[in-house]
Amino acid sequence: MPRILIVSNRLPVTLDRTDGGLIYHPSAGGLATGLTSLDDSWERIWIGWPGQSNFHLAEEEEITHHLAKENLVPVFLSEEDVTNFYEGFCNKTIWPQFHYFPQYIAYNDDYWEAYKAVNQKFTDAVATQIRPDDIVWVHDYQLMLVPGMLRKQFAETSIGFFLHIPFPSYELFRTLPWREELLHGMLGADLIGFHTFGYMRHFLSSVYRLVGMEQNFGKLLVDNRTVNVDVFPMGINYEKYAEGAPTLPSAEVEFIRDYGKRRKLILSIDRLDYSKGIPQRVLAYERFLERNPVYHGKVTLIMVVVPSRANVDQYFQLKETIEQSVGRINGRFGTFNWIPIRYYYRSFPFDSLSAMYKSAHIALITPIRDGMNLVAKEFVASKHQEKQGVLILSEMAGAASDMPEALLINPIDINDMVHSLEMAMEMPAEEQKERLESMQERLIQYDIKYWARTFISQQMDTKKLLPEGEVKLLETDQWDELIEAYQTASSRLLMLDYDGTLVNFVNDPDDAYPDQELLDILKKLNEQPGTTIVIISGRDRHTLGNWFGELGIELVAEHGVWLWRNGRWVLSNEVNSSWKIDVRPIMDNLVARTPGSFVEEKDYTLAWHYRRVDKDLGAKRVREIRDGLIYLTANHNLQVLEGNKVVEIRNSGVHKGKAASMWINKTTSKFILAMGDDHTDEDTFQAMPRDAYTIKVGYAKTHAKHKLRSTEQARALLADLATSFS
Ligand code: GDG
């Protein structure tokens, strides 16, 4: 049976030590619910921390044995791990960094070391469980290195990663000393999921700027693997909240229901966290009461603050701040029969929570940052029957992307919140119903089950995926067939592009010289009787001559301007360079305004290179060149050609296809192979006879019949051809 291994910081059970022994509390969180919905043909194994530390060996064995019955695998953490990994790097570094609270970030090497070590512990725990064909789904910010660590050991395993919190803008992320390691960790996955497109965009921008990988519609090429990055807004167990608790109402539930009938209730529920915007919310409520005496005695704010992370300083201070404000407001406005804020620093059982959702008139959810915020969705689902209630939601919560019908507010703008409270109090019943219904429709369709199912199915698809969706990769049997055709042909013609095909791109083109291994392969091929090798490049003739002149192979420089024949360069076309005097100043001006770019001047070509320029700026400048040169190119009969991070200007009628035709027209070879990687090589592919082998190196759209993933593969193919005679 195929298995899915879920890896998250916490297991869906929590352990407690009591005098009577160990107690296991199951916690049916959203994730656990979602996963039960996966097709029954999946076996589910869950790996995570059970929530207590420093067990004796005998206790660990007992716990492991007990949890194994539920398919749960514990990862045991020491107290030091909890301090440095969980409370340290997770909650004092990543949490504030990813929620835009730079003032709270602790940069501490010990925390980082602990984070790496604990991520390795989780990875080791997965490694002991994993079997071929298992798929692994890793969750959240505590385990960002796990996909990368797993990938090192399990090259073929399908790995998914989902981040439940925001991914910050590059401008903030870049300040993290361990930024590249975290990105590489995540990139070990095949599928990386976020709640919103904004987080996905920030992630891809950081990957581009810090690791240099460019995305193509959310897909990245990482070590010859496709990594897909996509948006999966998490839903909830809709029915659970729509129906509420099935048990007989407790005294607390009765009280809440009755209370809701006598007053308009505004509900606020969060974990104690500075990201939740609780102090600002309390201030907004105070100002609302100041401005609207008419509601005194008629409205109550029910404020549930669930204790959390008590060992982190800021949380303690935050609690003090909130409690002082609550005290001030109750003291200022309260009467003998009205308490403006009912404040609870504790959690409630589900039946009470559900009664609060159902009885509240308004949910006031105003985080300063929040990955998603499920409370907002649970409130809306709880209004399934009555269709009355108003959601006031921060535009900084991921949930705002899914719920535009809420009254969206800026959580820093107190007046905006006050205004929305006033609107919510007065909103006509029909409008409340309409807004709720649209949100409910979406919550029903995109529930937690849908979320888990779509993630897993996309994760499995990604493994098979080729960017651009084109299935053109040269398969093993086609590779073998090509080699056989090469061996059996009486003469052979190989037409090879150089940069991006035989060597990888580097920032400085001069550094992309051929290494000894490549020279040996070309030499060996060239020594085979009947084999002709032509390198068709955009490079200048001097460079090509220096690099390959001695090999005795044939060369084409400047896309066909120069041909290397019998030991000397000859001009192939009617070309002139008089236009350079007009074009060069325009390009120099471009370089002055575009740091990192430069002009390469060849005999009959001017090339503007922009590999080191930000891609958006590069794209803007390419547009400028096209527009700026439009008259000049027409008058001088020039063409503007876009290659890989280079724009070249040269005489019209010169291109690699035309150069290639000179060999094609006179060859008697039955075996012809053309390989190239960029736009300019498309002309070569198109000039080839129908039965030639044409191979694109890379994934972009092409006229070539086949693709190879990388220059490494292109070289491997040539190496196979070179040894096919021995
Ligand atoms: C992360 C991200 C993202 C709250 N108080 C009580 C109680 N709750 C339950 C709610 C809800 C859950 O806790 C809180 O969900 P959130 O979405 O607000 O936040 P987290 O789970 O802490 O954190 C967040 C989420 O992951 C999912 O990806 O939305 O942005 O930070 O389900 O109902 N439950 C009970 N009593 C309470 O007093 N029983």
Q: Same domain, yes or no, for 560 and 611?
A: no
Looking from the CA of residue 399, the nearest atom of ligand 1 is: 29
**Ligand 1, from 164, 256, 344, 394: best to mutate by most atoms within 8 Å of Cβ?**
164
The minimum-distance atom of ligand 1 relative to the CA of 30 is: 32
* CATH code for the domain in which residue 618 is found: 3.30.70.1020
Give the model's pLDDT for residue 701: 82
Please tell me whether residues 295 and 337 are part of one structural domain: yes
* Residue among 368, 374, 393, 448 to mutate when testing ligand 1 (max atoms within 8 A of CB): 374
Q: Looking at the structure, tell me whether residues 567 and 595 fall in a common domain.
A: no
For the full predicted model, state whether its pTM sits above 0.85: no
Is 258 part of any domain? Answer: yes
Q: How many domains does the chain have?
A: 4
Strand partners, 649: 606, 640
348 to each of 155, 240, 269, how far by Cα in Å? 45, 16, 10
Residue ID of nearest Cα to ligand 1 atom 26? 164
Atom of ligand 1 nearest to the CA of 350: 39
Average pLDDT estimate for 472-481: 87
Claim to verify: residue 626 and residue 665 sit in the same structural domain:
no
Cα 374 to ligand 1 centre (Å): 6
Q: Tell me what the mean pLDDT of segment 659-669 comes to.
A: 91
Q: What percent of the chain has pLDDT over 70?
A: 97
Least confident window among 100-114, 315-329, 472-486:
472-486
| Nearest Cα to Cα of residue 298 among 331, 336, 340, 332 | 340
Burial class (CB in 10 A: 0-12, 13-18, 19+), 40: exposed
Task: Provide CB contacts within 8 A for 58, sequence distance 6+.
Answer: none
Given ligand 1 and candidates 372, 382, 396, 455, which is best to mutate, with the most ligand atoms within 8 Å of its CB?
372
Query: Does 262 reside within a domain?
Result: yes
For residue 372, the CA-to-ligand 1 centroid distance in Å is 9
Q: Ligand 1 mean position to 698 CA, how many Å?
A: 44
Nearest residue by C-alpha to atom 36 in ligand 1: 348
Ligand 1: atom nearest CA of 370 is: 30
Indicate whether 78 and 134 sit together in one domain.
Answer: yes
- For residues 634 and 673, state if they share a domain: no
Q: How far apart are CA 157 and CA 638, in angstroms?
A: 51
Q: Which of 651, 676, 708 is the last residue of a domain?
A: 651
Residues 202 and 289 in one domain: no
Dig out the tokens for 695 from the structure.
Answer: 């191979």
Beta strands in 383-463 (DSSP E): 390-394, 407-409
Name the residues annotated as catalytic: 497
Please, which pLDDT band fits residue 37 given cuts at 50, 70 and 90? Answer: low
Residue 28 lies in a domain: yes
CATH number of the domain where residue 358 is located: 3.40.50.2000
Query: Residue 506 falls within a domain, yes or no?
Result: yes
Q: What is the pLDDT of residue 468?
A: 45
pLDDT > 60? residue 465: no
Residues touching ligand 1 (Cβ under 6 Å) are: 30, 164-165, 234, 269, 271, 304, 306, 347-348, 350, 353, 370-375, 378
Report if residue 440 sits inside a domain.
Answer: no
CA of 567 to the centre of ligand 1 (A): 74
347 CA closest ligand 1 atom index:
38
What would the pLDDT profile of 226-279 be if each residue is shown by its tens digit? Answer: 899 999 999 999 999 999 988 888 889 999 999 989 999 999 999 999 999 999
Residue 464: pLDDT band with limits 50, 70, 90 = low
Where is pLDDT greater, at 393 or 468?
393
State the distance from the centre of ligand 1 to the C-alpha of 420, rounded, in angstroms: 24
Which of 620, 651, 682 is where one domain is finished? 651
Annotate 51-96 with three-state secondary structure. Answer: CCECCCHHHHHHHHHHHHCCCEEECCECHHHHHHHHHHHHHHHHHH
Q: Answer whether residue 291 shows pLDDT above 60.
A: yes
Give pLDDT tens digits for 593-602.
998 999 999 9
In-domain check, residue 448 = no
Residue 504, pLDDT > 70, answer yes
| Alpha-carbon span 270 to 669, nearest angstrom | 75
pLDDT at 508: 87
The answer to whether residue 632 is domain-embedded is yes
- Same domain, yes or no, for 253 and 314? yes
- pLDDT for 405-448, tens place per residue? 999 999 999 999 999 999 999 999 999 999 999 999 999 999 99
Domain of 644? 580-651
Cα 702 to Cα 132: distance, rounded to the nearest angstrom: 35
DSSP helix, strand, coil percent of the chain (3-state; round to 5): 45, 20, 30
Q: Which atom of ligand 1 is nearest to the CA of 162?
A: 28
For a ligand 1 pocket test, name from 161, 231, 375, 378 the mutation site with the most ligand atoms within 8 angstroms of its C-beta: 375
**Whether residue 560 is found in the same domain as residue 584:** no
544 and 414 belong to one structural domain: no
| Domain assignment present for 434 | no
- pLDDT of residue 57 exceeding 80: yes
In this structure, what CATH number is given to the domain that contains residue 712?
Answer: 3.40.50.1000
Q: Give yes or no: residues 112 and 259 share one domain.
A: no
Interaxial angle between packed helices 476-488 and 711-723, expressed in degrees from 0 to 180 and rounded to the nearest 10: 40
| Interval between CA 270 and ligand 1 midpoint (Å) | 7
pLDDT of residue 16: 83
Euclidean distance between CA atoms 160 and 228, whole angstroms: 10
Tens of pLDDT, residues 357-373:
999 999 999 999 999 99
Give the rounded percent of residues in the chain with a pLDDT score beyond 90: 75
Question: Rounded to the nearest whole angstrom, what is the distance from the C-alpha of residue 494 to the centroid of ligand 1?
Answer: 62
Q: Are residues 558 and 627 part of one domain?
A: no
Q: How far is the CA of 306 from the centre of ligand 1 (A)?
A: 10
Mean pLDDT for all residues in the chain: 92
The per-residue pLDDT for 726 is: 63
Quote the pLDDT of residue 363: 98
Q: How far is the CA of 238 from the centre of ligand 1 (A)?
A: 14
Q: How far is 53 from 79, CA to CA, in rounded Å?
A: 6
Q: Is pLDDT of 190 > 50?
A: yes
- CB neighbour list of residue 104: distance below 8 Å, 6 or more residues apart: 92, 96, 274, 314
Per residue, what are the HEC states of 647-674? EEEEECCCCHHHHHHHHHHHCCCCEEEE
Q: Which of 632, 651, 670 is the last residue of a domain?
A: 651
Residue 469 has pLDDT above 50, yes or no: no
